[in-house]
Chain A
Amino acid sequence: MLAYILRSLMQGLVVMLAVAFIAFTMFRFVGDPVVNMLGQEATLQDRAELTERLGLNDPVPLQFARFVADAAQGDFGVSWRQGRKVSSLIVERLPATVELAVLSAIFAFVVGIALGVYAAIRRDGWIANLVMSLSLIGVSLPTFLIGIGLIYIFAVELRWLPSFGRGDTVRIGWWTTGLLTVSGLKSLVLPVLTLGFLQLTLIMRLVRSEMLEVMRADFIRFARARGIPERKIEFRHALRNTMIPVITIAGLQLGGVIAFAIVTETVFQWPGLGALFVNAVQFVDVPVMSAYLMFVAFVFVLTSLMVDLIYVALDPRLRGSPAMAK
């Protein structure tokens, strides 16, 4: 079990190093940092000095080691456009994205699993069939279209909810939250629905098909032959077995939700990391871009690590069992 966790950690570390290497090479291939920082009018001497100061004359492996060491401490340098530390830019934007993504994920998981289980149990009912047909629309509609549609209905026509921004936020330490004010909560509704909808339909369809698969298993039949009530078979025996493959996919989806909230953030002018990244791309702000790349990789590594741990909690076959030592 410990070996299992250590192996997951090692894998995560390797992934992070690989991504760090890509982020590092971005500095070298997307323009010359010295020109970018000093502008075109700088003298040759200024350039030579800055090149030396930035350590660009050092051997590449040494530069990479320095980049990794800095990144590990959260230091991604200074934004070329805003002239501020990238780390503080990220910390500033992080709460908006995390709140949006986590709420979307919870929404997608809870509703997706509930609908999926329902569609599997009542697989011939008309509600289940309706839900399945609607989910097909959900899978095929692009996110921005859903966002714009929701804005049109709830912000433009009905005027119930704001169409952009986070509303009023409350500061708790370095974290800013929109969860404690009415306008903050109202602002969250549409982006959360937009970002969560695709995940919801995917999770729902996955849960349904996995559950139907599990319901055909021998142990379900045997549980029936033992006279176990149908509700217990569905929710105790089948659901837990369903969750193992679902967790894998859903875990990766969660990583995707946090990492690629870009579209939703753009549609709703949400002041999060996605918007920061889009601006950075427009101005070739390489430090911000590489930091964002590292952040996305970190989120994926973290979620897959969590998925591995949840596996262990769900599936006893992955645990060593001290009680069984012969």
Chain B
Amino acid sequence: MSQPVLSVRDLTVEFVTRRATLRALDKISFDIARGEVLGVVGESGAGKSVTGSAIIGLIDPPGRIAGGEVVLSGERVDNLPPDAMRKVRGKRIGMIFQDPLTSLNPLYRVGEQLIETIQTHTDLNASDARKRAIALLDEVGIPAPERRIDGYPHEFSGGMRQRVVIALALCAEPEFIIADEPTTALDVSVQAQIIALIKRLCKERGTSVMLVTHDMGVIAETADRVAVMYAGRIAEIGPVREVVKQPLHPYAKGLMGAIPSLEGDAERLVQIPGSMPRLSAIPPGCAFNPRCAQVFARCHVERPELIPVGDRKVACHLYDEPGAMGGKAEIAA
């Protein structure tokens, strides 16, 4: 297997407050291959966005990376000095934010913002940078780009602004893009277009994507693999088809069971009782143990590591105990 574009090892992020040190990310590890789309799902506060911020080096104080490493195409980037990291941002890792209405500076023309970004990362002169900006706007599907380039953000609709944001993220042809809930703030009709656009552009360029969302529909349609996060840890990671159709981790099962479906014959949606623990009160052992229906003694004591089960990895003792609860039998079924 070729070298992954992004490799995250035991990444830990802590927020130091006066009262306590909160662990927002607890030793998470995953790889993203070239051209692959990794979906990241989970409830609010599960650590999805923090993962993105940590990778791109934009954790706001009092948060900090407390351990682990982030390796981009074989080069470690989490410990770079600020200026070197700045050159990685935008150039090698692009980022798309949730709300296109507030991601753009309202006082500058979209062209100025594009050209500024292009010139930050390349040696192009002003007129070449402008040509490049127009080409990018054209590529993300903005009609009449030679004219629209001189428009201000408020003159674009939400979907069009998100296209501009995508163009900005792609300015320097990064090898990896973090899309942090790119469609949450958009109309449903526009969401599909934006997702299709991100998918097409990244396929054409061979760009890898980390797609953070809580929209399982988007994940199922777009991602190659999916990581389910819970309380700052990865519960399950694997090919999207398997994880969505037949989740292994009890939390992932609950999450998938909570998705309404048109063809399903279920009378009611499954609910997971309780709510995710606050970061200050994560229980020992498995973080999911207070809500888990299949909990047993070991879950309260020992934190489950990600263990390979077929093509995927699951952090659950059910699949580790030889003979316990018949976890493996379940896959076979």
Chain A residues contacting B120 (CB-CB under 8 Å) are: 226-229
Answer whether residue A252 sits at the interface, using C-beta atoms and an 8 A cutoff. no
**Apart from A218-B103, A225-B94: 5 A-B pairs, beta carbons within 8 A:** A219-B106, A222-B95, A223-B105, A226-B120, A316-B106
Whether B102 lies near A317 (C-beta < 8 A) is no
With contacts A218-B99, A225-B56, A316-B152 taken as known, whether A241 is within 8 angstroms of B117 at the C-beta atoms is no
Residues from 153 to 175 in B contacting A, C-beta threshold 8 Å:
154-155, 165, 168-169, 171-172
With contacts A317-B154, A321-B152 taken as known, whether A226 is within 8 angstroms of B102 at the C-beta atoms is no
> Complex formed: what's the CA distance from A226 to B56 in Å?
10
Whether B150 lies near A323 (C-beta < 8 A) is yes
Whether A237 lies near B105 (C-beta < 8 A) is yes
> Complex formed: what's the CA distance from A282 to B203 in Å?
83
Whether A323 lies near B151 (C-beta < 8 A) is yes
**Among the interface residues B106, B109, B121, B148, which one has the most CB atoms of the partner chain A within 10 A?**
B106
> Complex formed: what's the CA distance from A241 to B147 in Å?
25
> Complex formed: what's the CA distance from A321 to B148 in Å?
11
Answer whether residue B90 sits at the interface, using C-beta atoms and an 8 A cutoff. yes
Chain B residues contacting A236 (CB-CB under 8 Å) are: 116
A-binding residues in B (CB < 8 A) = 56, 58, 86-91, 94-95, 97, 99, 102-109, 116-117, 120-121, 147-148, 150-152, 154-155, 165, 168-169, 171-172
B-binding residues in A (CB < 8 A) = 217-219, 221-230, 232, 236-237, 240-241, 314-317, 321, 323-324
> Complex formed: what's the CA distance from A241 to B87 in Å?
25
The smallest C-beta distance from A236 to any residue of chain B, in angstroms, reads 8
Whether A222 lies near B104 (C-beta < 8 A) is yes
Whether A219 lies near B103 (C-beta < 8 A) is yes
Q: Which residue of A lies closest to B87 (CB)?
A: A227
Q: Which residue of A lies closest to B156 (CB)?
A: A324
Chain B residues contacting A226 (CB-CB under 8 Å) are: 89-90, 94-95, 117, 120, 168-169, 171
Whether B107 lies near A224 (C-beta < 8 A) is no
Whether B154 lies near A316 (C-beta < 8 A) is yes
Pick from B90, B97, B169: contact of A228, CB under 8 Å: B90
> Complex formed: what's the CA distance from A228 to B121 in Å?
9
For this complex, 19 residue pairs linking A to B, each with C-beta atoms less than 8 Å apart, are: A219-B103, A219-B105, A221-B58, A222-B95, A222-B165, A224-B89, A226-B169, A227-B87, A227-B88, A227-B117, A229-B86, A229-B120, A230-B86, A232-B116, A236-B116, A237-B105, A316-B106, A317-B152, A321-B152
Whether A224 lies near B117 (C-beta < 8 A) is no
The smallest C-beta distance from A120 to any residue of chain B, in angstroms, reads 15
Q: Which residue of A lies closest to B148 (CB)?
A: A324
Q: Which residue of B lies closest to A224 (CB)?
A: B58
> Complex formed: what's the CA distance from A317 to B172 in Å?
29
> Complex formed: what's the CA distance from A227 to B90 in Å?
5
Chain B residues contacting A229 (CB-CB under 8 Å) are: 86, 120
Whether A317 lies near B88 (C-beta < 8 A) is no
> Complex formed: what's the CA distance from A229 to B87 in Å?
9
Pick from B56, B104, B151: contact of A321, CB under 8 Å: B151
Chain B residues contacting A228 (CB-CB under 8 Å) are: 90, 116-117, 120
Q: Which residue of A lies closest to B101 (CB)?
A: A218
Whether B106 lies near A225 (C-beta < 8 A) is no
Chain A residues contacting B95 (CB-CB under 8 Å) are: 222, 225-226
